[in-house]
């Protein structure tokens, strides 16, 4: 144990205990003095001197004092400076006198200090190397898919993480669930939106049986890119697996559906639920009645239970024994499970206990397939730190509102988007309006500007027939201006409206209505009909001619004629949602 102190233990220097093993392609720590390995495949991170907390230690690829090897750049720890200098001096003295200088006897105090220093030295060396090996271990766990979009791990604006649970039955212990030949569809899909100021988050669950359009998407496989044609009026879950579609196809489908730009994706199979639930020490769930579901193999009595592994998977898979027995009822169970898991991680010692943190990191990296933008431990860590800023009480799970598919008659196997409820919900998420009603504190100057703009909406409104406006298309959607003019004339009785074509300068971020002071009543009427926010109104300084037109430029926030541009301040009635900090939810 004195090997790292001021002397040497048995003539062995720790730097010489690292030996390259051609069988494993890495260096091994050999602690026995005859040069034999401690154990085949020995990992220094597993020794008592290297606690699991070493996962947090950093290890540079090249360090001062390491000796280059002739095999192409491999290196081993070099001699420690102090010991090396002293040995050189001792060698010179021996050459001059022909004998070694006798060592002075150590006092008891010095022996204790040297023993302690040597132990700490061994811990530091093994921990740093172990940390590097663990980092590589976690990195090697992660599977990546290049979806043709490579965003930075962390962005300054809102973050939208697409979480895909696939029903692919491959993997240890998964073939017994039936349909083991499935290519793996988007069985469970959530879009986890974190606001730009990181004060709140909304997780939107997207029903797998919702009928939607899947856009064409490029996929990369074996170094070649293949464009897969889109599909009209199919189940959402076909956005993955079907026709060899990869997560990039689900990514593009969700963007088209919600109007939100996806930042990253994380995909997991059945093993993810089993591993992660066990890594956190089990997840507490609640049932309002006894459940015995032979399909999911869930058998639990009424009340609270802590589930993990196979039982946790059975809980999130069951659907026939709860609610209406369909996918929407199962989504509620999944939201309860995920909320409880988040509470467990934040409230317990999972993130501070080295052992539990290792288990969680190992389980997560083994279970995840991600995009290239977060395809390493360091990138995933950066993203996790950013997402952890959100307070638990400001996280809401909501289900995208749907209705039974009217094309199916009495037997309903699929659903369709409930647009009157879905569009306001999507607008709220796009504009960072928290479903938990968290408000960002605005600066005084911004409040004054908002008040001034809001005042423009107060006052008399012109008759619909007297509204004169030219519509320009800056939304990026083909035909948006024509669609809007048709809606104004036919649905709102505004015959004095015209199509001005595309906006100058291309696509605009926000919709803007420009008008003169003497057109304020017309602007108020149009703002009311289109639900324009106050900051969309831009008043000029001078009056316009009596027959002059206002100018309405449609921006990227425009989602369709008759669809409100401004996000509502309250969640639409009937939206199914779960607050992450609510631990009183029991599945019925």
The pTM assigned to this predicted structure is: 0.60
Higher pLDDT, 48 or 242: 242
CB 469 within 8 A of CB 517: no
Which sequence spans correspond to the domains of the chain? 2-141, 145-437, 444-554
Predicted confidence (pLDDT) per residue in 265-289, tens digit: 999 888 888 998 998 899 999 888 8
pLDDT of residue 41: 40
Higher pLDDT, 194 or 325: 194
* Structure token digits, residue 58: 């950093």
Is the pLDDT at 234 greater than 70? The verdict is yes
Q: Lowest mean pLDDT: which of 34-48, 72-86, 335-349?
A: 34-48
pLDDT of residue 34: 47
Instruction: Give the residue from 410, 415, 393, 399 showing the smallest Cα distance to 346.
Output: 393
Beta-ladder partners of 304: 286
Which parts of 348-376 fold into alpha helices (H)? Answer: 354-367
* Structure token digits, residue 327: 């996918």
Q: Lowest mean pLDDT: which of 80-84, 178-182, 204-208?
A: 80-84
Conformation bin of residue 560: beta by default, left when phi > 0, alpha when psi is -120 to 50: left
Average pLDDT of the segment spanning 338-357 = 79
* Structure token digits, residue 137: 């271990």
Which parts of 7-107 fold into alpha helices (H)? Answer: 81-97
* pLDDT band (50, 70, 90) for residue 60: very low
* pLDDT band (50, 70, 90) for residue 103: low
* Structure token digits, residue 22: 């051609």
Please identify which residue in the block is written with the tokens 């602690």.
31
E strands, 116-158, in order:
143-145
Instruction: Compute CA 36 distance to the chain's CA centroid, rounded to the nearest angstrom.
Output: 46
What does the mean pLDDT of the chain come to?
77
Is the pLDDT at 446 greater than 70? The verdict is no
Compute the 3-state secondary structure of the chain and give helix, strand, coil in percent, each to the nearest 5: 35, 20, 40
* pLDDT band (50, 70, 90) for residue 94: low
Fold assignment, 444-554: Alpha-Beta Plaits (3.30.70)
CB 500 within 8 A of CB 551: yes
Average pLDDT of the segment spanning 390-418 = 89
Higher pLDDT, 12 or 291: 291
pLDDT of residue 57: 38
Number of CB atoms found within 10 A of residue 198's CB = 16
What CA–CA distances, in Å, run from 449 to 18, 158, 522? 67, 23, 22
Average pLDDT of the segment spanning 235-254 = 94
Fold assignment, 145-437: Aminopeptidase (3.40.630)
Average pLDDT of the segment spanning 220-231 = 90
* Structure token digits, residue 386: 């950013």
pLDDT of residue 126: 41
Is the pLDDT at 362 greater than 70? The verdict is yes
Please give, one letter per residue, the 3-state secondary structure of 18-43. Answer: EEEECCCCEEEECCCCCCCCCCCCCC
pLDDT of residue 209: 94
E strands, 131-209, in order:
143-145, 159-166, 186-194, 201-206
């Amino acid at each position: 144990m004195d090997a790292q102190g001021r002397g040497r233990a048995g003539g062995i220097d720790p730097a010489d205990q690292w030996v390259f093993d051609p069988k494993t392609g890495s260096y091994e720590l050999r602690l026995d003095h005859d040069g034999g390995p401690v154990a085949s495949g020995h990992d220094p991170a597993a020794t008592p001197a290297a606690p699991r907390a070493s996962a947090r230690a950093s290890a540079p690829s090249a360090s001062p004092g390491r000796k280059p090897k002739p095999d192409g750049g491999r290196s081993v720890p070099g001699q420690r400076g102090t010991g090396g200098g002293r040995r050189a001096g001792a060698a010179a003295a021996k050459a001059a006198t022909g004998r070694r200088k006798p060592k002075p006897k150590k006092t008891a105090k010095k022996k204790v200090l040297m023993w302690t220093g040597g132990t700490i030295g061994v811990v530091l060396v093994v921990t740093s190397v172990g940390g590097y090996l663990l980092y590589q271990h976690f990195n090697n766990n992660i599977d990546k898919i290049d979806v043709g979009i490579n965003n930075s791990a962390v962005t300054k604006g809102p973050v939208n993480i697409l979480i895909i649970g696939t029903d692919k039955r491959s993997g240890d212990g998964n073939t017994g669930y039936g349909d083991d030949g499935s290519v793996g569809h988007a069985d469970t899909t959530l879009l986890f939106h974190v606001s730009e100021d990181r004060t709140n988050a909304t997780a939107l669950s997207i029903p797998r049986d919702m009928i939607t359009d899947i856009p064409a998407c490029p996929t990369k496989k074996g170094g070649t890119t293949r464009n897969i044609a889109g599909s009209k009026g199919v189940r959402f879950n076909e956005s993955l697996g079907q026709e060899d579609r990869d997560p990039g196809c689900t990514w593009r489908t969700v963007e088209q559906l919600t109007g939100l730009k996806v930042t990253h994706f994380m995909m997991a199979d059945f093993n993810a639920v089993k591993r992660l639930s066990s890594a956190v020490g089990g997840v507490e769930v609640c049932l309002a009645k006894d459940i015995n579901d032979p399909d999911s193999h869930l058998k639990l009595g009424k009340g609270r239970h802590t589930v993990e592994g196979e039982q946790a998977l059975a809980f999130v898979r069951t659907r026939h024994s709860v609610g209406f027995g369909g996918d929407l009822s199962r989504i509620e169970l999944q939201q309860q499970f995920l909320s409880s898991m988040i509470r467990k991680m934040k409230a317990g010692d999972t993130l501070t206990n080295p052992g539990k943190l290792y288990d969680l990191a190992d389980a997560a990296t083994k279970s995840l397939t991600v995009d290239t933008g977060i395809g390493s431990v360091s990138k995933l860590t950066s993203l996790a730190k950013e997402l952890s800023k959100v307070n638990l009480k400001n996280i809401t799970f909501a289900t995208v509102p749907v209705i039974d598919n009217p094309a199916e008659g009495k037997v309903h196997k699929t659903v369709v988007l409930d647009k009157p409820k879905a569009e306001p919900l999507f607008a709220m998420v796009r504009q960072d309006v928290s479903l938990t009603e968290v408000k960002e504190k605005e600066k005084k100057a911004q409040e004054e500007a908002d008040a001034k703009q809001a005042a423009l909406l107060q006052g008399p409104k012109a008759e619909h027939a007297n509204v004169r406006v030219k519509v320009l298309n800056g939304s990026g959607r083909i035909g948006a201006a024509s669609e809007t003019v048709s809606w104004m004339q036919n649905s709102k009785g505004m015959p004095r409206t015209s199509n001005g074509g595309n906006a100058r300068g291309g696509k605009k971020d926000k919709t803007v209505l420009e008008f003169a002071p003497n057109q304020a009543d017309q602007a108020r009427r149009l703002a009311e009909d289109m639900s324009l926010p106050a900051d969309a109104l831009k008043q000029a300084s001078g009056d316009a001619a009596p027959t002059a037109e206002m100018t309405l430029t449609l921006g990227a926030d425009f989602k369709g004629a008759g669809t409100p541009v401004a996000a509502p301040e309250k969640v639409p009635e009937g939206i199914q949602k779960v607050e992450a900090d609510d631990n009183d939810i029991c599945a019925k």
